[in-house]
Amino acid sequence: MASEQPLAAVTCTAPVNIAVIKYWGKRDEELVLPINSSLSVTLHQDQLKTTTTAVISKDFTEDRIWLNSREEDVGQPRLQACLREIRRLARKRRNAWDGDPLSSSLSCKVHVASVNNFPTAAGLASSAAGYACLAYTLARVYGVESDLSEVARRGSGSACRSLYGGFVEWQMGEQTDGKDSVARQVAPESHWPELRVLILVVSAEKKLTGSTVGMRASVETSPLLRFRAEAVVPARMAEMTRCIRERDFPGFAQLTMKDSNQFHATCLDTFPPISYLNAVSWRIIHLVHRFNAHHGDTKVAYTFDAGPNAVIFTLDDTVAEFVAAVRHSFPPGSNGDAFLKGLQVRPAPLSAELQAALAMEPTTPGGVKYIIATQVGPGPQILDDPSAHLLGPDGLPKPAA
């Protein structure tokens, strides 16, 4: 049987985001509603992005998905929740617009392929970029124009923050149906051009306790987490928004570090305790504080998610000196020239004074595997060039996909 042309094929990209006020804990597991609001920085897609193609065709007999070229189980509950939700929104729109010629697309099955331009196993927030990209691409292919927070959130809570560029808050909302639990842009990516982000990849291993399981245990057992959600985060959201609006780097940096530390404290307060930081993470924490103390100013901040990798925020005039400090304290392994990826960083000398202030003997090489230098970036994008599609006209992955 000759294959019909697909009804539609769309390819989009979406960014990774890093929370500076952390989301940890759900009040509704099914709807993925958080116990506190959170705020993140969207990272630039030149360095880190997910690309997703969705194709719908009358020929397809089932929904199928390929992640990094491997076919995965489309029956996974989170994936199913995203598909169900997008089709519900599409149906709602079609009903409003009777006689839409595209309405037949709703009964079609979809094929999806998705790839990351960074190692999924590097412990970077691939699920946020992945589900944001899935929601955004499915919305384009099914003609949905409404807010996509709910679709992305059902995949992974933090994914709703990857729907926008710049600085993004996820308002926890109050309603039981979650309709007001949505992501909103606080400031666009152009707002703070000097801000830089360094990802210090400490371990590429898969984490011991995933976020979903970890936060469930914290909600059940940690009194500190409840205190944090009720008494700490609301004021921090307001203060972080102010720091961003006023481009107050020391304020932004201090609050970012305190919030990361409090999140990891709630992990330790969970019973049995959860520990995501390792000895290298702690050395990075000390390095940052000593670097700041030497300068008598908060010039660098760290934050850690559910793993040992550090994300560093600083301003463009400090990047070179801080990278020199990292190279000194964590000598590169055998990958000397591939140690720094992403944005160019000019080599800078490390002054004897700073070296003395760091008071750190270099570790054995390779503690920090590599650094990705990046900056704040835009939200999801549609790729118009059909050659960007990861799926061919037959709906199967192209050989290079």
Query: CA 149, CA 175: separation in Å to the nearest integer?
Result: 15
Footprint on residues 211-240 left by ligand DP6 (CB under 6 A): 211-212
- Sign of the CA dihedral running 68, 73, 75, 76: negative
Stretch that binds ligand DP6, among 16-24, 80-88, 107-115, 294-302 (CB under 6 A): 16-24
Q: How far is the CB of 119 from ligand DP6 (least distance, A)?
A: 17
Stretch that binds ligand DP6, among 152-160, 320-328, 357-365, 390-398 (CB under 6 A): 152-160
Q: Is the peptide bond before 272 cis (omega within 30 degrees of 0)?
A: yes
Distance CA 30, CA 311 (A): 30
Query: Does 259 interact with ligand DP6 (rule: CB under 6 A)?
Result: no
Considering the rule CB under 6 A, would residue 306 count as an interface residue with ligand DP6?
Answer: yes
Task: Give the whole-angstrom CA distance, residue 298 versus residue 230.
Answer: 28
Is residue 127 close enough to count as binding ligand DP6 by CB under 6 A?
Answer: yes
Task: Please tell me what DSSP assigns to residue 44.
Answer: P
Nearer to ligand DP6, 189 or 305 (CB): 305
CB of 234 to ligand DP6, least distance (A): 16
Nearer to ligand DP6, 23 or 249 (CB): 23
d(CA 354, CA 312): 18
CB of 295 to ligand DP6, least distance (A): 28
Shortest spacing between CB 204 and ligand DP6, in angstroms? 17
Indicate whether 20 belongs to the interface with ligand DP6 (CB under 6 A): no
Single out the segment in contact with ligand DP6 by CB under 6 A; choices: 15-23, 82-90, 137-145, 329-337: 15-23
Task: Determine if 182 is a binding residue for ligand DP6 (CB under 6 A).
Answer: no
**Residue bearing tokens 């304290």:** 329
Tokens of 218: 């914290």
User: How far, in Å, CA of 317 to CA of 195, rounded?
Assistant: 9
Partners of 26 in the β-ladder: 34
The residue whose two tokens read 């990516």 is 189
> Helix 211-221 to helix 249-269 angle, to the nearest 10 degrees?
70
Give 310's strand partners. Answer: 200, 304
C-beta of residue 397 within 8 angstroms of C-beta of residue 9: no
| 3 state DSSP class of 181 | coil
- CB 68, min distance to ligand DP6, A: 18
292 binds ligand DP6 (CB under 6 A): no
Dist CA 157 CA 85 (whole Å): 15
Q: Which is nearer to ligand DP6, 212 or 254 (CB)?
A: 212
Q: How many CA atoms lie within 13 A of 309 on its CB side?
A: 23
**Judged by CB, which is closer to ligand DP6: 85, or 305?**
305
**305 touches ligand DP6 (CB under 6 A):** yes
Asked if 126 is part of the footprint of ligand DP6 (rule: CB under 6 A), the reply reads no
Q: Is 158 a residue that touches ligand DP6 (CB under 6 A)?
A: yes
Dihedral, CA of residue 24, residue 28, residue 30 and residue 36, to nearest 10: -30
Interacting residue with ligand DP6 among 156, 181, 218, 309 (CB under 6 A): 156
Determine the size of the site formed for ligand DP6 (CB under 6 A).
14
Question: Pattern 23-62, binding to ligand DP6, x per CB under 6 A?
Answer: xx-------x-----x------------------------
- Of all residues in the shown chain, the one whose CB is closest to ligand DP6 is 157
Contact partners, residue 169, CB within 8 Å, separation at least 6: 37, 38, 39, 40, 161, 183, 184, 186, 237, 241
Minimum distance between the CB of residue 155 and ligand DP6, rounded to whole angstroms?
7
Q: Which residues bind ligand DP6 (CB under 6 A)?
A: 19, 22-24, 32, 38, 127, 156-158, 211-212, 305-306
